[in-house]
Amino acid sequence: MGRDIPLGRIAGIKVGMNVSVLIIAGLNAWILADNNFPILVPGLTPTDYWVAGVVGALAFFASLLVHEVGHALVARQEGIGVRGISLWLLGGVARLESSPRTPGAEFRIAVVGPLASAACGVALLSAAYVAPDTGRWDLAGTAAAWLGTLNLVLAAFNLLPAAPLDGGTVLSALIWWRTGNQSAGKLWAARSGVVVGLAMAWWGLQHMGGNESGGYGIWVLAVGGFIAMNAWQAMRAAPLFTALEGVRVIDAMYASPPIARAGDTVADFLRSLPRDTHHQYYPVVGDHGRVNGLLTADAIRAVPSTHWSSLRTVELAYPLDRLTVVSPDEPLLSAVQRMDSGDVRTALVVDPHGRTVGTIDPRALQDAVTARANT
Ligand SMILES: [Zn+2]
Asked whether the predicted pLDDT for residue 342 surpasses 70, the reply is no
**Catalytic residue from among 68, 97, 315, 330:** 68
Cα 90 to ligand 1 centroid, rounded to whole Å? 12
| Mean pLDDT of the 213-221 span | 76
Expressed in angstroms and rounded, the spacing between residue 340 Cα and the centre of ligand 1 is 17
Q: How many angstroms separate the alpha carbon of residue 29 from the centre of ligand 1?
A: 24
Of residues 311 and 43, which shows the higher confidence score? 311
**Between these two residues, 79 and 374, which has the higher pLDDT value?**
79
The per-residue pLDDT for range 76-96, each reduced to its tens digit, is 999 988 989 998 877 788 888
> pLDDT confidence of 210, banded at 50, 70, 90?
low
Residue 73 pLDDT level (bands cut at 50, 70, 90)? very high
How far is Cα 261 from Cα 281, in angstroms, rounded to an integer? 13
CA of 53 to the centre of ligand 1 (A): 25
Report which of residues 41 and 373 the model is more confident about.
Answer: 41
Asked if residues 80 and 98 have their Cβ atoms less than 8 Å apart, the reply is yes
CA of 50 to the centre of ligand 1 (A): 30
Amino acid at 54: V
Average pLDDT over residues 339-352: 80
pLDDT tens, 137-186? Answer: 888 999 999 999 999 999 999 999 998 999 999 999 999 999 988 888 99
| Cα of 166 from ligand 1 centre, angstroms | 5
As a whole-number percent, the residues of the chain with pLDDT over 90 amount to 45
| pLDDT of the residue at 122 | 97
Digit-coded pLDDT (tens) for 21-35: 888 888 888 988 888
Quote the crossing angle between the two packed helices 166-179 and 103-130, to the nearest 10°: 140
Domain 249-373 classified CATH 3.40.50.300?
Answer: no
pLDDT band at 99 (very low <50, low <70, confident <90, very high): confident
How many Å lie between the centroid of ligand 1 and the Cα of residue 38? 33
Q: Name the more confident of 137 and 119.
A: 119
pTM to 2 decimals?
Answer: 0.72
pLDDT value, residue 1: 42
Q: How far is the CA of 196 from the centre of ligand 1 (A)?
A: 17
pLDDT of 213 strictly over 60: no
Look up 106 and say whether it is catalytic: no
pLDDT score, position 166: 95
Of 62-76, 141-155, 241-255, the one with minimum mean pLDDT is 241-255
Mean pLDDT of the chain: 88
48-62 mean pLDDT: 92
Choose the most confident range, by mean pLDDT, from 128-137, 170-179, 362-371.
170-179
Omega prior to 164 cis, within 30 of 0: yes
Q: Which of the pair, 117 or 33, is modelled with greater confidence?
A: 117
Q: What's the 277 CA to ligand 1 centre distance in angstroms?
A: 43
Distance 34 CA to ligand 1 centre (A): 31
Looking at residue 158, what is its pLDDT?
94
Cα 225 to middle of ligand 1, angstroms: 18
* 25 CB-near residues (< 8 Å, 6+ apart): 57, 58, 60, 61
Residue type, 354: G
What are the tens digits of pLDDT across the range 310-331?
A: 999 989 999 888 888 888 988 8
State yes or no: pLDDT of 62 exceeds 80: yes
Single-letter residue type at 35: N
Backbone angles phi, psi at 327, to 5 degrees: -105, 155
- Name the band, by pLDDT with cuts 50, 70 and 90, for residue 2: low
pLDDT one-digit tens code per residue, 264-296: 999 999 999 888 888 889 999 987 778 889 999
**Ligand 1: centre distance to CA 318 (Å):** 29
* CA of residue 339 to ligand 1 center, whole Å: 20
Residue 267 has what pLDDT?
Answer: 93
